[in-house]
Amino acid sequence: MNCLKFPSRLVFAILFIASCVITTGARGQNVSQSVVNTEQVRAELMVQAPDGIDAGKSVWVGLQLKHLPQWHTYWKNPGDSGLPTKLQWTLPAGVTAGEIAWPLPQKIPLGNLSNYGYEGTVLLPVPLTITSAFKPSLLNADLEIKLKASWLVCRLECVPQDGEFVLHVPVRGSTALNSAAFAASLQAQPTALEGDSRVEVNGQQLKFFVTGLPATLRGQQLAFFPETPELIEPAAPGSQQWAKVGANDVWTASVPLSAHRTESPSLLPLVLVAEVNGQRQGFRVQAQLRGTWPAVASGADSNAAGPAALTPVLARNAGASTAALGPNVSLGLWAALLGALLGGLILNLMPCVFPVLAIKMMSFARHANDRRGHRISGLAYSAGVVLSFLALGGLLIGLRSAGEQLGWGFQLQAPAVVAALAVLFTVIGLNLAGLFEFGRFLPHAVLTLEAKNPAVNAFLSGVLAVAIASPCTAPFMGASLGLALGLPPLQALLIFMTLGIGMALPYLAASLVPAVARWLPRPGAWMDTFRRAMAFPMFATVVWLVWVLGQQSGIDGAAALLALLVALSLVLWSLTLKGRSRVILATISIAALALLTGAIGQNVIKSAAASGLTRVAARERWQPWTPGRVEQVLATGAPVFVDFTAAWCVTCQYNESTTLANAEVLADFAANKVTLLRADWTRRDPAISAALAQLGRNGVPVYVLYQNEHAPVVLSEILSVQEVRSMLAKLKSS
């Protein structure tokens, strides 16, 4: 059964294909991407360089946001809630970006709140400074501008989004296609106002005195926008009037201080906006503080500030949440290790691991009459599993230490990884089905080396098992993994190692204990039939991966991946032919594969980034989870059930199609008036990562019931109808 030695041969056989994927994909990433589309916003990176790119020339870049009706993003001070748009630039040496020249905002009322932001279309311009240190190369006389932007777009609900943009601007020549957009944005800038303006603190009121405004504005009501967040109550009624002081017209306003104030600035910049001949006109004022600020309220926290109506709910739930999460967060190291060991054992029963486990059992049967080979195979497989868990845990810990909000299964949030796994399992499936043998593609020296080192096959089987097991979270794993990322690195790695030991333990026992080994079937002709049958679980895994990619990047992404897999299959088949037909077909199919890989690199991955960070729940009963949504519902007195899920999480999909789709469960949810929220973590979402961290978790699935004045109830990873109905019965009785 030489054909069963597929793992190490697979690695060598797909090196050429992988190099093509990486090279072509990297080439595709260099193509300019100036537009990102989400369900609510069209974001475009623009440039304005009418005199070319050179030292001393006027060069502007900017992010234009086109909002769907009723949606908005935020100004530098978002008002009662929200977050300002953030721009992070990557520019060549000798080029620096300034601050955003924020256009005039508008007040956006939302119930009893008032936000500051933008509706319709807005361009956020940023000046570029070109110095003599900028030296474009002779071969590439372009200025490469890279931008990573993040914004919060809101209607009644809020959706955090981001995008990555790349532009290549010719150094020589004029770039002025967007001159009208930049002119309109720069015209909407506030004018710096001269004069002696001041602000006084009078109890819990701020009183502004502004001089130097045009006389034509006298008597008008001006819109008022302080640049310092959480300084005043944006929605609270204030008063303003005009007064004559000597020869000067003075505009005065009195506004209430915010209960969440955390800063006490001595200089208060603010923007005043008036309507002049049907056009909005703004003025920026620097008001000097006269007097002293009152003491900041004890416990004020800019990150905890929220709408006044939610403050009592947040205060009540803060204590309850701490009490509920105490056992999870303070879980002892020994208990966490035991949970990791049990979780690793149960992980073998997860459906995502079945294809590799079936092949591993077939490999054990192959060594049934070779006790030494049996032991070596078991030890090598266990080493592959444990070392892979350590590597994955180390990478996760390192990335989180660098500031990334990641959790268990983070690698499947990258469409490139999903596509690569689909390619890998397609190749394995075709090999198992008998389309080709890796031995025909590899040099004799490589085959000889592989034959002398059979342990490599078993080791790579362990690596492969961990690769496809990572989307699953078994019972007992959640609390242990949640604790691991809050521990020192060595203790955290010990938990990951124990998880690997638990997963490898059954096979280690089968290889070392003769009594267990005797339960295994003996080798025979059945193995060839079994091997071909195992191709179908591999192809089923490919179907799942294509579906995951479709959730991340849309139907075009899934179709492009399917076309890539067909071309890859054609390549492998053509290499099994003989004579001239092999050369001709192989050349054509490899060229098609390279072109399709380039399409993946240029379009699929980018369309995934442009698809937004959330999916609207398909079922009408479920609403999309957004930051602050739980608190908003709790403020109405209704309980909330949150399903933290992801398309690549097999356990999540199983629970959703069984327990959470059960008619009795849904009826109980409706009878108890429970609001159902679904937090979709299919693509990376820092807000969901933070919410999971607050629950002492870093992976999905997680199921939580929130209710006023009660601790959040976290359910088990594998839901049962009885568990959910029992929880809802207790809710009704309370």
Q: State both tokens at 461.
A: 């089987």
Cα–Cα distances (Å) from 569 to 430, 443, 469, 601, in that order, read: 8, 21, 25, 19
Q: Is residue 300 part of a domain?
A: no
pLDDT of residue 595: 65
Do 184 and 227 lie in one domain? The reply is no
Do 508 and 524 lie in one domain? The reply is yes
Do 78 and 13 lie in one domain? The reply is no
Do 603 and 667 lie in one domain? The reply is no
Residue 268 has pLDDT above 80, yes or no: yes
Could you say which of 240, 257, 290 is where a domain stops?
290
pLDDT of residue 519: 65
Strand partners for 129: 96
Do 137 and 162 lie in one domain? The reply is yes
Helix (H) or strand (E) run with residue 211 in it = strand 205-211
Which stretch, 9-18, 444-453, 476-485, has highest mean pLDDT? 476-485
In percent, how much of the chain has pLDDT > 90? Answer: 12
Q: State both tokens at 427.
A: 């190749």
Q: Is residue 647 part of a domain?
A: yes
pLDDT of residue 12: 40
Which stretch, 77-91, 283-297, 358-372, has highest mean pLDDT? 77-91
Total domains present in the chain: 4
Do 171 and 241 lie in one domain? The reply is no
pLDDT of residue 572: 78
Could you say which of 141, 167, 188 is where a domain stops?
188
pLDDT tens for 305-340 read 343 333 443 344 334 333 333 333 334 567 777 877
CATH number at residue 728: 3.40.30.10
More confident residue, 498 or 30: 498
Cβ–Cβ under 8 Å, residues 85 and 65: yes
Q: Domain range for residue 556?
A: 2-26+332-610
More confident residue, 701 or 85: 85
Do 357 and 390 lie in one domain? The reply is yes
Angle (CA) 220 224 229, round 5°: 175
More confident residue, 416 or 254: 254
pLDDT tens for 446-479 read 445 455 566 777 787 778 777 766 655 555 555 5
Q: Is residue 39 part of a domain?
A: yes
pLDDT tens for 32-82 read 578 898 888 999 999 988 877 877 777 899 999 999 988 999 999 988 878
> How is 235-303 classified by DSSP, letter by letter?
TS--EEEEEEETTEEEEEEEEEBPTT-----SEEEEEEEEEETTEEEEEEEEEEEES-PPPPPTT--TT
- CB count in 10 Å sphere of residue 488: 9
pLDDT of residue 674: 92
Residue 617 has pLDDT above 60, yes or no: no
Do 199 and 179 lie in one domain? The reply is no
CATH number at residue 283: 2.60.40
Q: State both tokens at 317.
A: 């739930």
- CB count in 10 Å sphere of residue 332: 10
Range from 170-184, 201-215, 241-255, 527-541 carrying the lowest mean pLDDT: 527-541
pLDDT of residue 636: 83
- At 8, is the pLDDT very low, low, confident or very high (cuts 50, 70, 90)? very low
CATH number at residue 66: 2.60.40.1250
Residue 184 has pLDDT above 80, yes or no: yes
Do 81 and 174 lie in one domain? The reply is yes
Cβ–Cβ under 8 Å, residues 113 and 65: no
Residue 96 has pLDDT above 60, yes or no: yes
Could you say which of 154, 188, 222 is where a domain stops?
188
Q: Is residue 316 part of a domain?
A: no
Strand, coil or helix: what is 117? strand
Among 85, 79, 84, CA closest to 111: 79
Do 150 and 201 lie in one domain? The reply is no
More confident residue, 77 or 551: 77
Q: Is residue 324 part of a domain?
A: no
Residue 16 has pLDDT above 80, yes or no: no
More confident residue, 480 or 541: 541
Cα–Cα distances (Å) from 429 to 100, 536, 542, in that order, read: 52, 7, 9
Q: Is residue 310 part of a domain?
A: no
Q: Is residue 307 part of a domain?
A: no
Q: Is residue 312 part of a domain?
A: no
Mean pLDDT of 6-24: 41
Cα separation, 92 vs 101, whole angstroms: 22
Angle (CA) 202 204 206, round 5°: 55
Q: Tabulate helix, strand, coil % of the chain (nearest 5).
A: 45, 25, 30
pLDDT of residue 3: 41
Strand partners for 48: 60
- At 620, is the pLDDT very low, low, confident or very high (cuts 50, 70, 90)? low
Do 426 and 546 lie in one domain? The reply is yes
Mean pLDDT of 511-525: 65
Residue 546 has pLDDT above 90, yes or no: no
Residue 362 has pLDDT above 70, yes or no: no
Which stretch, 21-25, 123-127, 484-488, 631-635, has highest mean pLDDT? 123-127
Cβ–Cβ under 8 Å, residues 366 and 1: yes
Q: State both tokens at 516.
A: 């267990």
Q: What is the mean pLDDT of the chain?
A: 74
pLDDT of residue 498: 85
Cβ–Cβ under 8 Å, residues 472 and 352: yes
Mean pLDDT of 165-177: 80
pLDDT of residue 321: 37
Do 410 and 537 lie in one domain? The reply is yes
Cα–Cα distances (Å) from 717 to 402, 468, 622, 626, 653, in that order, read: 29, 18, 19, 22, 12
